[in-house]
Structure 1
Amino acid sequence: MRFPFQRLASYSCMAFVLICACAQTPENDTPSKPPVAVSLSDLQTAVQDLANDPAIKHGQVAFSLKSSKTGKVIYEFNGDKSVIIASNLKLVTTATALAVLGAGYTFKTELQYDGVLGTDGVLKGNIYILGGGDPVLGSDKVKGSLATGPLMEVWADKIKEAGITQVNGAVIGDGDMYNDNVTPGGWVWSDIGNYYGAPVYGLNINDNLYTLYFKPGAKIGDPARILRIVPPMQQLEIINEVTTGKAGSGDNAYIYGAPYTYLRQIQGTIPAGVNEFDIRGSLPDPVTFCAGLLQQKLTQKGIKVSQMAISTRLLRMRKTKINTDRKPIFAHLSPPLSAIVEETNLKSMNLYAEAMAKLLGVNIFKDGTTFSGTEAIVKFWKEKGIHTDGFFMRDGSGLSRTNVIRATTLTDILNWCAKDSIFAPLYNSLPVAGVSGTMKNIGKGTAAAGNIRAKTGTLERVMNYSGYYYNKSGELMSFAIITNDYVSESSAQIRKKIERIMVVMAGLS
């Protein structure tokens, strides 16, 4: 696991200790049991205590707590201030996708061919992989989705069943559903070469990532040696500047490199004392890579392909006309959207959220860009009567620091969802305090455990929680806790005070 600064909740929050009890002493970090009864004034005191912490003197705290049944504001602090939302934005993106597309929506990827297929099985033409924006293609993270190897096996068999024994042409990846300028504006250079900064394409594969395995040196400061790359990419050129860090120091290595380019510079450290250590990077060109994998599998099955695998993007660059007159071979369907939403919120999957945003752009504006996707999302909520003043959205996942929203807007959206048919899949997708996902190690032994369901969100100097819980009277509540621009070295004390707020909330009637 990686724990660098500009990282979303999926990775930094896994290190969270526990939700703080309403009373803790410096000598004991284990949360005490919640008090017998708490009042609104206790909550106000806990929020003010966070806001008055010297570590966030120059930053921002925003808080909103509402009844999901009545919409009544229980308490707000700076609820009208625009604040950096980080991965809490995934709540908005996934909710919009469920509402617009439906929980049962499936992404479709099609195998096609053009040209002439002779009676002898020789195809004088090309095989196409027409991407439908499926972010889980070739990934087995979501139940019902095949890993890359088994997927290619199925696809090659389908091509063989279609009577094709030889291809006098190429395997062509078609990712034209989405635009070629894949990286959202606002993403920083230190993110986009790494797995969590992998952009979404019209055709994706294997979560658009590869894994580098390192051998650390014998002592701190020694160079770390690359053992292998999975899946193999011979064209990848690596400048390896990774050294050996302290034992147990974790993944502090960063991969730098842009989409469509194969030069990667890697800097930072990996821990000493292990036989090998892996880090993950974003694939340079998943569309072409996917086509290449299928060609390799066809070759293994005795189906010769005469030309190198390529993408429609590269064909356009060569001024080659792209044939859209194609015949179907096979249609591959993803698991239902509800399952993808669950993985997105449970594990804070940036790629999946970005895919949903672009798909919404296609659905509403017929344009597969991040810009159109974010415009579609804001438009949807505005039409539902949500006040979107102060809501500025620049991607679907929250990785950009230019995504801001008001805490009161966030709880208004959560309350709308609570009254709609999308509530069940959205609610069930959220990590549970003390139980699952990015909330697994939060709140054990407190009133929050097993009750609070929240999306976590972190970037450098940003720590947020938003979601639902049931109060002591059994009423569903929505909440948002946002902290921006605290002193990084004080993140542990900020976290404890946020955790205290959550425990107090759970104790309210």
Structure 2
Amino acid sequence: MWWDDRNCARASTWPGRRRGLRLGAGLVLGAGLPWAFASTRPAPGAPALARPSVGESLLRGCGLPGANVGAYARALDSDTPLVSLNPEKPFQLASTTKLVTAMAALDLLGPHFRWRTMAFTRGTLLRGRLLGDLWIVGGGNAYLRTQDLQVWMAEWRKLGLREIIGDIVLDRFAFQLTEHDHENTPVPAADRPHHMWPDALTLDEGRLKVRLNPSRDGRPEVQLEPPLAGVRIEPSRLGGSGCTAWAQWSDTPRDAEPLIRVQGSLGPRCGSREWVLAPLPHAEFTTRAIAGLWRQSGGQLHGRVIDKSHPDRRSLIPEGADGEPQLPFATHISPPLPQLLREINKTSDNLAARNLMLALSRGFPHRPATLPAAQARMREWLTKQGLGPGDIEIENGSGLSRAEKAKPRAFVDLLAKAWHARQAAALIDSLPVAGVDGTLEHRMTRGAATGQAHLKTGTLLDTRALAGYVKARSGKVYAVTALVNHPEAARATPSLDAFIEWLARAN
């Protein structure tokens, strides 16, 4: 089983916060002793030892072996670490990987980068009728939504397109991926929509919303978002006055219509119910959704919606009849990169992070992105940041791969450099804020770190991680990384939060 930040239980406040936070017998926080550690005396004649790190006290609090925890923290105006625990040992990053992807994207793509989805008329448009095909060329936009397409299709109609005599062709030229590219990440499943694989033309991240609205006659209305053409809904078992309705994607024979079963009861006094599923591969999901949305918009289609996963051309822009690049009929543009990063980092969006990683491929989008090309560009960029081989390893940019690792010291070096970069504000603004929003909304809700710690979280079954910036009461800002790799890593969450609280009280 694979977990990420959004399907683990959020840590809550732990007992004793108002009286002071205790980790083991050595570290006391909040009781007027912000730097109280257990006494450690060097042997006679030995050089004086540095005060034991907070990481060691963290370990005593959570009961995990010291070798399984890495921590590093230093003030941005200092080269001397305040905390250094296993600083040169590589640890799995989980979703803190997205922070590295964000830094690289801001530097390499720039703040004005946007994903573009283009529509091309492959024929003559005459009196509202397209005598040919309409091509929709995906540009990797992970945040293309049903609402976006509804607005976009309304624009097509204003431009005079009402009827398509040929086909709608979905073109995925922008990404060229292989099965090998996904072997270190979990397989998507209907009940795990956050595991969808990257795709150049995706809609609603491959997620289907099934919504039930109660009615007075006892026959609830079933809505699908997006509307999927050719999907059958079976609400025959839905009835009664209770509020126990549920929806399920049902396996059907390969040649049969896909089926959604809605069962239980939803009486008139019940509120609406909604389920999120990821029932189909990207290609089939998007094909059925485009057909359903075009029909819903009032458009007519005489042909079919066809998936073209492997276009037979060399450039993103198809050529016209004269052999020259064709102008798009219409273009949908995503929000700029800073806004995309807020979505990715605040919610820990795996699919969007993976699509953004692919966008790092040199020449994208005019040349198709490949994962090896994106990885090579990332390695080049990390080297330019002054990091050495093995300091930070990024595979797909999301943290779902256990091959994505970093040394705590190297991660903090990268964070410190990013703080002084031109796009630092966009990076910091994208991070969850302790006790305020994102994946940290319900953590560190009362204390010195509340509102002062901007941190990316990371969660797998065997990993808990935090990385980012903490502003201490002294006014100093600390770059910090704390990584725990252990089968019982979840036990470390309160200690990680206590570590950040302690850092927020630092001088």
SS in 2 for 1:173: strand
**1:13 touches 1:456 (CA, 8 Å); kept in 2?**
no
**1:83 touches 1:484 (CA, 8 Å); kept in 2?**
yes
The CA deviation string for residues 52-76 of structure 1, in whole angstroms up to 9 with x for no partner, is 5674239610001022233432221
Are residues 10 and 93 of structure 1, via their aligned partners in 2, closer, same or farther at CA, if it must alter by over 3 Å?
same
Question: Structure 1 residue 283: deviation in Å?
Answer: 5.5
Question: Structure 1 residue 44: deviation in Å?
Answer: 3.3
Kindly indicate whether residue 159 of structure 2 is the aligned counterpart of residue 162 of structure 1.
yes
Question: Structure 1 residue 136: deviation in Å?
Answer: 1.1
The CA deviation string for residues 68-105 of structure 1, in whole angstroms up to 9 with x for no partner, is 23343222100111111000001000111111111222
Name the CA distance, whole Å, in 2 between partners of 1:448 and 1:255: 46
Instruction: Select the structure that is richer in helix.
Output: 1
* Partner residue of 1:67 out of 55, 63, 75: 75
Kindly indicate whether residue 130 of structure 2 is the aligned counterpart of residue 123 of structure 1.
yes
**1:6 touches 1:191 (CA, 8 Å); kept in 2?**
no
Query: Who is 2:308 aligned against?
Result: 312
Name the CA distance, whole Å, in 2 between partners of 1:255 and 1:423: 47
Query: Who is 1:181 aligned against?
Result: 178
Aligned residues: 448
Query: Who is 1:94 aligned against?
Result: 102
**1:178 touches 1:369 (CA, 8 Å); kept in 2?**
yes
Q: TM-score scaled by structure 2? A: 0.77
Query: Who is 1:497 aligned against?
Result: 495
Q: How does 1:266-281 map to 2 (within 5 A)?
A: 278-281=274-277
Kindly indicate whether residue 430 of structure 2 is the aligned counterpart of residue 435 of structure 1.
no
Letter in 2 for 1:61: V
Letter in 2 for 1:207: E
SS in 1 for 2:480: strand
Letter in 2 for 1:124: L
**1:184 touches 1:394 (CA, 8 Å); kept in 2?**
no
Question: Structure 1 residue 37: deviation in Å?
Answer: 4.7
Question: Structure 1 residue 207: deviation in Å?
Answer: 2.4
Question: Structure 1 residue 428: deviation in Å?
Answer: 1.0
Query: Who is 2:427 aligned against?
Result: 426
**1:62 touches 1:77 (CA, 8 Å); kept in 2?**
yes
Question: Structure 1 residue 312: deviation in Å?
Answer: 1.4
**2:408 touches 2:483 (CA, 8 Å); kept in 1?**
yes
Identical aligned pairs, as a percentage?
Answer: 20
Kindly indicate whether residue 226 of structure 2 is the aligned counterpart of residue 231 of structure 1.
yes
Name the CA distance, whole Å, in 2 between partners of 1:135 and 1:367: 16
Name the CA distance, whole Å, in 2 between partners of 1:377 and 1:264: 42
Letter in 1 for 2:416: N
Question: Structure 1 residue 497: deviation in Å?
Answer: 1.8
Letter in 1 for 2:402: R
Query: Who is 2:140 aligned against?
Result: 133
Question: Structure 1 residue 425: deviation in Å?
Answer: 0.7
> Which consecutive unaligned segments of at least 5 residues does structure 1 have?
27-31, 139-147, 216-226, 239-250, 267-273, 317-321
Kindly indicate whether residue 114 of structure 2 is the aligned counterpart of residue 111 of structure 1.
no
SS in 2 for 1:457: strand
Question: Structure 1 residue 349: deviation in Å?
Answer: 0.9
Letter in 1 for 2:174: M
Query: Who is 2:360 aligned against?
Result: 360
Query: Who is 2:92 aligned against?
Result: 84
**2:346 touches 2:439 (CA, 8 Å); kept in 1?**
yes
Question: Structure 1 residue 180: deviation in Å?
Answer: 4.3
The CA deviation string for residues 246-284 of structure 1, in whole angstroms up to 9 with x for no partner, is xxxxx9x99999xxx998999xxxxxxx98865533363
Question: Structure 1 residue 234: deviation in Å?
Answer: 6.1
Q: How does 1:355-434 map to 2 (within 5 A)?
A: 355-363=355-363, 366-434=367-435
Query: Who is 1:508 aligned against?
Result: 506
Question: Structure 1 residue 340: deviation in Å?
Answer: 0.8
Letter in 1 for 2:504: A
Name the CA distance, whole Å, in 1 between partners of 2:299 and 2:59: 66
The CA deviation string for residues 26-72 of structure 1, in whole angstroms up to 9 with x for no partner, is 9xxxxx97243533957835311333567423961000102223343
**1:210 touches 1:230 (CA, 8 Å); kept in 2?**
yes
Name the CA distance, whole Å, in 1 between partners of 2:137 and 2:120: 7
Name the CA distance, whole Å, in 1 between partners of 2:331 and 2:395: 32
More displaced 10-residue stretch of structure 1: 432-441 or 67-76 = 67-76
